[in-house]
């Protein structure tokens, strides 16, 4: 299946496909038995219509399971569901029918119809996201850290330190002299990974990086270290440029961050400042507990 079918939706789509094939084969092979189960009189005409519905179900199921873009086949199932519900409505009105069995069958078909609509809409929305036009984003942020440039540069240049102050970043590891592998923690236990290349490294002054071609996240950036005026430490300036991804990855990142990129980068810089100036990151009740809590620090800070 195409990349937009992810996680639970992917499993739901596959399940609906197999359900459609199974139901269709049952309708074609044993129409009389199925008619009795749903409370429909077992007549030749009813059997013929049941076999016709079965062929439709099998075709829809095969389409869902075999096509890279199964949304149209899911919508075909929705149309078939509407026809099934109309037929069951006539069955309920027929004095010769078992209304109790027909009522249960109607409720079951209504439930499957809801699942068909849910899956079809999810695939349509994912396809729209994948085809959406997005604009490049440029973020620039600065902060003064009361430490010499040599110390701040050295800490940042060891890329394995980055997850200690960059929110959501799980790990960064070196995979070559100028390349590194990045992993972001995503909702639902998922991970987003990419490789980056060090384009420029001026000791104690400037680091420039860029994601490698083919990465899920297309971005570049630099960080600069200058002595702050008045001998107040180091002026750290960061610029990040990236193209927001679409589809599943883009929606995952949007849920993950829950805020603008500028605010996230500024928060990361404040964490770095606290870490380098105090050697620890203090956390309040509001940051370690869900819900509303007074913004007061814990008795002991978390030492990194």
**What rounded mean pLDDT belongs to the chain?**
78
pLDDT at 237: 96
What is 191-203 written as a DSSP string?
EEEEEEEEEEEET
pLDDT at 287: 45
Taking residues 261-275, report their average pLDDT.
90
Taking residues 175-190, report their average pLDDT.
81
pLDDT at 129: 52
Tokens of 149: 């440039």
Taking residues 104-121, report their average pLDDT.
84
Which has more pLDDT, 45 or 207?
A: 207
pLDDT single digits (tens) 49-82:
778 888 888 888 898 888 777 888 888 888 888 8
Is the distance from CB of 198 to CB of 179 less than 8 angstroms?
A: yes
Instruction: Indicate the burial class of 100 (C-beta count within 10 angstroms; 0-12, 13-18, 19 or more).
Output: exposed
Q: SS3 for 140?
A: strand
Question: Residues with Cβ < 8 Å from 71, sequence gap 6 or more?
Answer: 120, 123, 124, 127
Report which of 162, 154, 155, 129 is spatially closest to residue 254, judged by C-alpha positions. 129
Report which of 282, 278, 281, 276 is spatially closest to residue 295, judged by C-alpha positions. 282
Output the CA–CA distances (angstroms, integers) from residue 131 to 6, 75, 97, 251, 268, in the order listed: 17, 20, 49, 13, 31
Question: Taking the model in full, what pTM does it have?
Answer: 0.49
pLDDT at 4: 39
Question: In this predicted structure, which of 80-89, 155-164, 250-259 has the lowest mean pLDDT?
Answer: 250-259
Indicate if the pLDDT at residue 245 is higher than 70: no
- What's the rounded Cα separation, in Å, for the pair 73 and 81? 12
Question: In this predicted structure, which of 176-180, 214-218, 282-286 has the lowest mean pLDDT?
Answer: 282-286
Per-residue DSSP letter, 260: -
Which has more pLDDT, 259 or 63?
A: 63
∠ CA 148-154-160 to the nearest 5 degrees?
A: 140
3-state helix, strand, coil in the chain (%, to 5): 55, 20, 25
Report which of 201, 220, 208, 225 is spatially closest to residue 143, judged by C-alpha positions. 225
CA 213 to the chain's CA centroid:
22
Which has more pLDDT, 233 or 97?
A: 233
The b/e string for 36-49 (b: 16+ C-beta within 10 A; e otherwise) is eebbbeeeeebbeb
- What's the rounded Cα separation, in Å, for the pair 110 and 100? 15
Tokens of 190: 């998922």
pLDDT single digits (tens) 120-157:
887 776 665 554 444 567 889 999 999 999 999 999 99
């Amino acid at each position: 299946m195409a990349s937009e079918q992810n996680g639970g939706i992917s499993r739901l789509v596959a399940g609906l496909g197999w359900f459609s094939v199974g139901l269709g084969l049952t309708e074609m092979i044993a129409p009389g038995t199925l008619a009795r189960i749903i409370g429909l009189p077992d007549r030749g005409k009813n059997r013929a219509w049941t076999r016709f519905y079965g062929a439709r179900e099998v075709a829809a199921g095969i389409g869902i399971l075999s096509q890279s873009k199964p949304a149209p086949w899911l919508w075909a199932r929705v149309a078939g569901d509407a026809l099934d519900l109309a037929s069951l409505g006539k069955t309920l009105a027929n004095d010769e029918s078992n209304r109790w069995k027909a009522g249960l069958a109607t409720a079951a078909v209504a439930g499957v119809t809801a699942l068909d609509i849910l899956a079809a809409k999810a695939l349509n929305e994912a396809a729209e996201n994948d085809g959406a036009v997005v604009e490049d984003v440029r973020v620039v942020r600065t902060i003064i850290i009361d430490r010499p440039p040599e110390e701040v540069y050295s800490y940042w240049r060891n890329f394995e330190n980055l997850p200690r102050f960059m929110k959501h970043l799980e790990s960064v590891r070196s995979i070559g002299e100028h390349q590194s592998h990045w992993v972001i923690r995503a909702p639902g236990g998922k991970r987003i990974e990419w490789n980056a290349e060090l384009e420029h490294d001026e000791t104690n002054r400037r680091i420039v990086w860029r994601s490698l071609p083919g990465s899920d996240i297309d971005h570049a950036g630099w960080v600069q270290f200058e002595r702050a005026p008045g001998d107040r430490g180091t002026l750290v300036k960061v610029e990040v440029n990236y193209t927001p991804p679409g589809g599943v990855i883009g929606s995952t990142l949007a849920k993950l961050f829950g805020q603008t990129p500028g605010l996230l980068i500024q928060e990361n810089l404040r964490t770095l400042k606290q870490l380098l100036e105090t050697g620890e990151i203090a956390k309040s009740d509001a940051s370690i507990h869900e819900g509303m809590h007074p913004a007061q620090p814990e008795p002991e800070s978390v030492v990194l």
